[in-house]
Structures are given as structure tokens and as C-alpha cells.
Amino acid sequence: MKERIRDGSNLQYNFYKVSCPQAENIVRSAVTDIYFNHRDLHLLFFVSFHDCFIQGCDASLLLEDNGDRNSSYEKQAIPNQTLKGNDKVDLIKEEVEQACPGVVSCADILALAARDSVFLGGGPFYPVLTGRRDSLQSFFQEASDQIPRPDDNITRTLHLFNLRGFNARETVSLLGAHNIGKICCDFIQQRLYDFQGTGQPDPSIPLDFLSQMRQNCPDNNKNNVISNGMFSTFTVSKPMNVHHSNNKGMSYKQALSSAVSSGASFDTHYYQNDGSTFRMDFARVMLKLSNLDVLTGNQGQVRLNCSRVVSS
């Protein structure tokens, strides 16, 4: 098997200009409908990020059937269990398939959809090259071990990004994308009530802010979901049965507190003292991320359904 292309050098601008010239317009129109109907900007972006971070931008995260019923798939890994948006990718794929059957990869659709959703939400526009192919396998263990956790220290976080070719500045820019989306109260529960096992809150949190956060995250409601600018990844307190889909028992809050952005749109509150620089850096690093370790040419395949490999 040929090696993956780390920098996307085999990708092209407007790859489908002959085989499916309307592909990017279909994706953009579908994302626009999804955005204005649901206002869930973060869904497609975080699915794309989690997919690219593990073995590259190959739509491996979308697989639910890799031909081996005894193996776990990437979507089941704990860091991915609270991701939402796979169904939105399926809807976009269906529209593209109606126009151009078996031509446009799920990996390209996801990369384009992530870009368009960020732009619709007020974020910077960045070019997306195309020509990706879809993975033939899923990577459960890698996703379980290598997606950054909300409680990772800076050393581990930088290390995980560095393994994928991102320097410290690029890592900081990507982390800034977490000004959109929602997280579980579990991510901050210990800081609010039992910091480092002391039975007390984190002393670095201002008291007025602590009070507001505790109102939204009471100690007896650990599955409450709030809006914030952090990772929208996984609940660490108690793993759930990943073989049965459900709504994870989560309810939603409008905001963590009045001092925190609602997470409904892309803004610069994460780096509000340097917003314009952040937007430029973010656009550059998203282009780099979208090109990470892609499959091209005769590698992989173009799936007809994003959740299943095409049988040979």
C-alpha cells in the first residue's frame, strides 16, 4: 500500500470540474440549509477535525461497517461518542450521489462541508483542495488513544499535534476553533467541586464566575451539557454502551455563563486581544489540516454510502 500524502500535494483545485462540476455547489447549498435550519455550526467542523486527526482526512470516522462485525470502529471510541453531525454528512452525500453517482468521496464532502460551515458561521474562508479518497478501514484504538483530551496538559497536547506536523502556533490556532460548540459539564466538574481531590473548587476561578458555572453544572447533574468554547469531544466519567445509539441522556443549556460566548457562531472571544491574527492563522492551519495524510489516486475508494465500504 502506498504511503499517505501528509501535505496534500496530490490534491487539486476543483478536482471534480469534469466528473462532477456541480459538486462543491451542492455541498455548499446543503450546508447552508443545515446551518439555517439547525444553527449547529460546530457539528461538521468537529467531525472533520476528529476524522483528520486520526490517520488523516479519509472519512474513516464515518464508517459503521468495515466488514468485520467483531471489531470496533472509530465512531465508537470514547472521544467520538458525543460527536454529532454524521447524519448531516449522509444527507449531503445523498444529494451529491443523486447528481454524480460514485464520483465524489466522503472525505472530500466532509472537508468542503467543514469549510463552508465555518464560513457561514462567521469564520474565515479558506481554500479546500479536492481529490481525497475514502479509507477502507476504521481506527478505533488510535482514536481512543490519540485524540487530545480536555484534561491533557500542554506538553501532551503539543506532542500530539507535533506528531501530525503542527507547530505550537498552529496548535494554538486550532485550539481557538473551540470558540464554537458545546461540552459536557463532566469536563469541568472536578474544577468546580473537587479540584485535584481537595473537595474544594479550583482556586484560580473567580468566585462570581464559579457561582454562575455551578448554576449551570450542579454537582448532582453530571450529564448536563452546556455551551462553551472548549472541546466538544467526550464524557470521561462513565463510558456508555457504544453499540447502542441514543441521545446520551444530555440536555442543553444556552450558555455557561453570561461571560462566555454562546458558541453559536465563530468569533474571536477565545483570543479576543488578537482576533485578526487568529483568523488569518486559523485559515492557514485549516487548509493544512484538511490536507493531512490524505489518500489519493488509486488508494482507498469512493464510498457510495459514507458509513459502509464498497465491497469488491
Task: Give the catalytic positions in this structure.
Answer: 50
Q: Which of 53, 129, 47 is nearest to 92 (CA)?
A: 47
Task: Using DSSP, state whether 34 is helix, strand or coil.
Answer: helix
Q: 51 a known binding residue?
A: yes
**What are the Cα distances from residue 116, in Å, to 17, 126, 310?**
18, 9, 27
- Using the structure block, give the residue that is written with the C-alpha cell 479536492: 130
Q: 201 a known binding residue?
A: no
**What are the Cα distances from residue 198, in Å, to 76, 190, 193, 202, 219?**
33, 10, 9, 9, 15
Q: 74 a known binding residue?
A: yes
DSSP 254-267: S-S-TTS--SSS--
DSSP 13-25: TTTTTTT-TTHHH
Q: 82: exposed, middle or buried (C-beta count within 10 Å: 0-12, 13-18, 19+)?
A: buried
Q: 197 a known binding residue?
A: no
Task: Using DSSP, state whether 149 is helix, strand or coil.
Answer: coil
Q: Is residue 41 within 8 Å of 21, Cβ to Cβ?
A: no
**What are the Cα distances from residue 252, in Å, to 16, 136, 184, 248?**
39, 35, 9, 12
Q: Which of 266, 298, 243 is nearest to 71 (CA)?
A: 243
Q: Is residue 50 within 8 Å of 79, Cβ to Cβ?
A: yes
Give dist(CA 188, CA 184) in Å, integer.
8
Show binding-site residues for heme b. 178
Residue ranges of the annotated binding site for substrate are 148
Query: Which residue ranges are tagged as binding site for Ca(2+)?
Result: 51, 56, 58, 60, 74
